[in-house]
Amino acid sequence: MNLFCIGLSHHTANVATREQFAGNATAETIARESGCAEALLLTTCNRVEVYAVSDKRISTDEITRCLMAKANLDPDNYSPPFYRYEDNKCVQHLFRVASGLDSMVVGESEIFGQAKKAYESARTSGAVGPYLHRLFQRAFRVAKQVRTHTDIARGAVSVGSVAVELAQRIFGKLSECKVLVLGAGETSERTTRALVSRGVNDLRVSNRSLDRAHGLAQTVGGRAVPFDDWVAQCREIDILLTSTASETPLLTSEILAPMLWERLDRPLFIIDIAVPRDVDPSVNELEGVYLYDIDSIRSVAEQSLALRRQQVAAAEAIIADHVTEFFDSISRGLTRLSQGVEHPSVGENPLHASEL
Amino acid sequence: MDRYFLIASTFCFLAAVVHTAIELRTKVFRPMRFNFVAIGLGFIFQTVFLWIRGQELGRCPITNLFEVFAFLAWSVALIYMVVGPAYRLSLMGAFTAPLVLLLQVFALIAPIDTRHPVTVPVNSWLEFHASMSLVAYGVFALACIAGVMYLLQERQLKTHHLHSIFYHLPPLTNLFAVITRLLWWGFALYTIGIVSGFFTGHPLPRIQVVAAIALWLLYAAVLQARHLKWLAPKRVAALCIIGFGVALALLWGITFTAELHHAP
């Protein structure tokens, strides 16, 4: 049996190249047209990959032809930077992909769902046989283990997710938090949506234009607050998200400090994504106030990415163990097949039973 | 012979500390289960030690500084075993193990296991007073640990430098809620301990009474300030650490004077 993977990813090809090969074929057509025993097509915004099993060697050009079948490109005059991995390299590559190690944002978890979808689609069409079934089941298990036993998926890497993560580090559950959104820009809307998705119920929106405040409040399920009243809201709120176009700071230590006495036991988390900043940096010196401007949010995102990169070695070690173990189990299976044991009993090997 | 159990217990806590240190180094934190098991085992060995020593003495084994420190370490582990799962505080074990380890290593190394014949007959009120006070100390120790965790988390949030441990520490508000509960529990137990001291039928050394009431007043002041919202959570957390430091110093003083008082 020849197990291989042929593909293009963000590492080797730009989006213009990748889109030439996305959406033209299915796992079933690839298996049928190339003569593979089993095939699976994984297409995401960052990669187009074919995982296949065949009795004889199938050339990269053959798979390329299948992928570009409807793209009207001449494979003889067009040689995109396809990579090819075989046998244990292929297994290792899939485990890395499923675990998010090969992703543009290391450790992202979206790829896991995309791989599952690709597997389900290929299985439904009948393009997946026992070999790819075992391979992908193991890949999902490895991905889960990598996430559980390393910090590869820890830390947020976008403005919205950093804001949510920090809010959760301060308040725990966000469902009891009162949030004031000052300014109705696009970034604040995205960040507000991220907060709402994590359970924020009490949402207030304030803007110089009350109509825009009403508009955003309606979109995110909050209520509008007149712009003249927003400072007084700081007595009750837990999170302040600002993104106005003001040229001078709207909130200073002098304005905020007297209000803090009334809320000494409750922290105040301020996310200032406005440029120029809406909140004077000295506000961060006040007790119980945690001020994050756009630069500090970016810095947290970079720290998270650095933390994830530090985890790569630990993740690679887990993957290496599984690659070896997977090949051992496959060889044992082949040996047993050659000895005439076609259907090993389910309880005979719990590891394989769970895979099958 | 009984010391071997305390040594075995110390190794369990050492294992938890080493495990945490390795995870700190590799920046991969999964210490919860391992630490809980290690601390649980350590707690069992501590209990066996105290039971054997108690059988041997025919009374609660808090007759010298060594036993007091061992009993205090046992109290801290006991409260952790109760509080850890109840409040679901991740990494609490990672912070508890070093404190227990320090207490036990000190007890084992320092020449404080002096066995002198105890002249005072067994007094159940006195034993209740002493043991209840030590359990209260265990609760204050946990409040101190939660305070350290709070300040660590708070510092990282303030400075915007987030270490990987940051993502495993409990949220600030949860930690503060736990600190408050522990302070109330510790205060209630300590109050019971102090009040029971007045039923012993023996005149206690004045310095002990003054020290115990001073500590009680310190924690009462912290709780009152917390209740009236006069203190920010950060200051309450810092006072928990200071309070436990003072408590340890007073414990030393109280035990030392008690040893002098009861020595033949």
CATH number at residue A209: 3.40.50.720
Q: Supply the Cα-derived Rg of chain B in whole angstroms.
A: 19
**Contact in structure between B149 and B192 (CB atoms under 8 Å):** no
**Contact in structure between B63 and B57 (CB atoms under 8 Å):** yes
For tokens 């966000």, what's the residue? A174
Closest residue in B to A297 (Cα) is B160
Q: Structurally, how many domains does chain A consist of?
A: 2
For tokens 């949506």, what's the residue? A193
In 3D space, the residue among A312, A306, A264, A311 whose CA is nearest the CA of residue A289 turns out to be A264
Domain segments of chain B as ranges? 2-112+122-262
What is the torsional sign of CA B194, B240, A168, B24? negative
Are β-strands A83-86 and A239-242 bridged in parallel, bridged antiparallel, or unpaired?
A: unpaired
Catalytically active residues of A are 45
Burial code (b: 16+ CB inside 10 Å, e: under 16) for A271-293 equals: bbbbeebbbbeebbebebbbbbb
One domain for residues A146 and A163: no
With CB atoms and an 8 Å threshold, state whether B176 touches A303: no
pLDDT 10s per residue in chain A (356 long)?
Answer: 789 999 999 888 888 888 888 888 899 999 998 899 999 999 988 899 999 999 889 999 889 888 875 555 665 556 678 999 998 899 999 999 999 999 888 888 889 999 999 999 999 999 999 999 999 999 999 999 998 888 888 777 778 888 888 999 999 989 999 999 999 777 788 889 889 988 999 999 999 989 989 988 998 889 999 999 999 999 999 999 998 988 899 999 999 999 988 888 899 999 998 888 999 999 999 999 999 998 998 888 888 888 888 889 889 999 999 999 998 887 776 566 555 544 433 333 333 333 33
With CB atoms and an 8 Å threshold, state whether B171 touches A171: yes
Q: Cα separation of A14 and A16, whole Å?
A: 5
| A30: CATH | 3.30.460.30
Q: Cα separation of A136 and A42, whole Å?
A: 12
Which domain range does residue A201 map to?
159-305
By Cβ distance, the residue of B28, B166, B232 closest to A169 is: B166
Q: How many CB atoms lie within 10 A of CB A19?
A: 13
Token pair for A251? 């909130």
One domain for residues A291 and A318: no
One domain for residues A101 and A134: yes
Q: Cα separation of A302 and A89, whole Å?
A: 30
One domain for residues A19 and A146: yes
One domain for residues A148 and A254: no
One domain for residues A150 and A6: yes
Q: What are the residue ranges of helices labelled H in A109-237?
A: 110-125, 130-149, 159-171, 186-197, 210-220, 230-233
One domain for residues A286 and A333: no
| Largest interatomic CA distance in chain B | 59
By Cβ distance, the residue of B29, B162, B231 closest to A303 is: B162
With CB atoms and an 8 Å threshold, state whether B171 touches A168: yes
**Contact in structure between A227 and A183 (CB atoms under 8 Å):** no
With 0.80 as the threshold, say if the pTM is over it: no
Query: Is 80 exceeded by the pLDDT of residue B52?
Result: yes
